[in-house]
Amino acid sequence: MENRNDKYEEILRKREIRPTAMRILILKTMMDSAEMVSILDLENKLETAEKSTIFRTISLFMMHNLVHCIDDGSGSLKYAVCNTDCSCSVKELHAHFHCEKCDKTFCLKSTPVPVIALPDKFVLNNINYVLKGVCDKCSNKQ
C-alpha cells in the first residue's frame, strides 16, 4: 500500500530537501491551510513542534524556493507553499491580501504582481505587493 505521505516526500525531494518526519508534517500543514501561516500559527497547529525547529525548517524551505514569505504588516511574517517549479522570480510573484479584521493573509495566486519601471541604475530583485482591507467572510459579518 502506498503511503499518503509519499506526495509530500516527493515534493521535498524535488527541491533537494531531505524529507524528515517533521518537515513532511510542516509541509502538509502549510499545504492544508487556506491562508498563509506565521511561525506562531504553525506552533499552535502542531503541538509537537518547537518554534526554533519551525523557523529553521521554513528558512530551509525558502532557500529552496519551496515556500515564499511576505510581510503583511501584522507584525509577523506569513508563509505559503509556492507553486510547483516556482523559482520565485519577479515574473512569478503574485499579489497578497491581508484582512485587517481576521488578520488572515491570502495568496491571490491568479493575480501577478504589477511590475513598474524603476529609475536608471536601480536593480529589481523582488516585490512585496500586499492589498489590505476586509476579506469576503469578514465583510459579510456586517
Partner DNA sequence: ATGAGTTTGCAACAAAGTTGCATAAATCAG
Partner DNA sequence: CTGATTTATGCAACTTTGTTGCAAACTCAT
Residue 91 is placed in which grid cell? 515574473
Please identify, using beta-carbon distances, which residue of 54 and 93 lies nearer to DNA.
54
> According to the binding rule CB under 8 A, does residue 84 interact with a copy of itself?
no
> According to the binding rule CB under 7 A, does residue 40 interact with DNA?
yes
> According to the binding rule CB under 8 A, does residue 95 interact with a copy of itself?
yes
Residues 70-99: x/- map of binding to DNA (CB under 7 A)? -----xxx----------------------
Contact partner, 142, from a copy of itself, DNA, none, Cβ < 5-8 Å per class: none
Q: Give 33-37's long-range contacts (Cβ < 8 A, gap of 24+).
A: 33/80, 34/106, 35/104, 35/105, 35/106, 36/70, 36/72, 36/78, 36/79, 36/80, 36/96, 36/104, 36/105, 36/106, 36/107, 37/78, 37/79, 37/80
> According to the binding rule CB under 7 A, does residue 55 interact with DNA?
yes
Which residues make up the interface to DNA (CB under 7 A)? Answer: 18-23, 38-40, 48-53, 55-57, 59, 75-77
